[in-house]
Amino acid sequence: MSRIDLLDAATAPISAKSSFADGDPGPIVAALANVPELLGPTLGFVGAALGDGAVSTRHKEFAILRTSALQGCQYCIHAHTAVAFDLGLSSDEIRALRGEMPIEEAFTNDAERRLIRWIDAMAGATGPIPSTVWEDVRTDFATHLLVELSVTIGATLFLNRFATAFELPTSAATAERLEEAGMQ
């Protein structure tokens, strides 16, 4: 049960109706529609930040799921566990990104390990990023990729706090998938 009204096709503001035209748009849109003038700009930003880019979808999902786990956002962890499965991440990789097993046990690629350490420094800590973490990640990832990932992490942090603050519910379909995979 959400803490706020999640609008539907009947209660959606007239200026946000198009977001509901193709059925249930999900709880984030349903919550944002309470302030319809923010819906378009926010979805535009989040869509660009989390969507396709120069960074591979696999590494982008690292950033999203890991950030969500570090922030303890149940809604985002559930949603992006399902997305990670769809993208072909293994159960162990997903569990590791969720903080349920050591990264080193699930990931053998050094570049990916260094990337996850950088994500941890970005999303799971405050203050400067340690020089060693920055220099390590720079050996494998170009500047533009890290800029893109930093935007992904920033948008994810926003979504994490938004979904957590208003206790947005995991969809029934996602919950069912996670139960089947033993990853509630």
Partner 1 sequence: MSDTATVVGEESDLQGGHPVTEAIADGLLPGRIWLYTNYNCNLACSYCLTESSPRSERRELDPATMIEVAKQGRALGFTGLGVTGGEPFLLPWLPETIVAMAAELPVILLSNATLFVGERLERAAVLAGHDVSIQISLDSHIADVNDMARGPDNFDKVVEAVPRLIARGVHVRIATTTAWSPDDDRLEPLRQLVTSMGVAPEDHLVRPIVRRGRADELSLGIEARPIDIPSELTITADGAFWGSFGPTVRGGRLDTDLLLTRTVLPLSMPAEVLVGLLKGMPAGNDARLGIR
**Which residue from 76, 74, 93 is spatially nearest to 153, judged by alpha carbons?**
76
Question: What minimum distance in Å lies between the beta carbon of 24 and partner 1?
Answer: 17
**Which residue from 59, 115, 93 is spatially nearest to 183, judged by alpha carbons?**
93
Query: Do the Cβ atoms of 97 and 62 come closer than 8 Å?
Result: yes
Query: Do the Cβ atoms of 121 and 133 come closer than 8 Å?
Result: yes
99 lies in the site for partner 1, by CB under 8 A: no
Which residues are within 8 A (CB) of 160 and not within 5 positions of it... i.e. 6 or more apart? 67, 68, 71, 72, 73, 76
From candidates 10, 21, 172, 173, binder to partner 1 by CB under 8 A:
10
Question: What minimum distance in Å lies between the beta carbon of 172 and partner 1?
Answer: 24
The C-alpha atoms of residue 173 and residue 72 are separated, in whole angstroms, by 21
Q: Per CB under 8 A, which of residues 127..166 are in contact with partner 1?
A: none
Q: Which is nearer to partner 1, 35 or 147 (CB)?
A: 35
Provide the mask over 20-39, with x wherever binding to partner 1 is found by CB under 8 A and - wherever it is not: -------------xxxxx--
11 lies in the site for partner 1, by CB under 8 A: yes
Question: What minimum distance in Å lies between the beta carbon of 39 and partner 1?
Answer: 10
The C-alpha atoms of residue 75 and residue 161 are separated, in whole angstroms, by 10
From candidates 1, 14, 21, 173, binder to partner 1 by CB under 8 A:
14
Look at the block and give the residue holding tokens 């935007």: 151
13 lies in the site for partner 1, by CB under 8 A: yes
Question: What minimum distance in Å lies between the beta carbon of 35 and partner 1?
Answer: 5
The span from the first CA to the last CA of the chain, in angstroms, equals 17
Q: Which is nearer to partner 1, 8 or 105 (CB)?
A: 8
Residues within the interface to partner 1 (CB under 8 A) = 5, 7, 10-15, 33-37
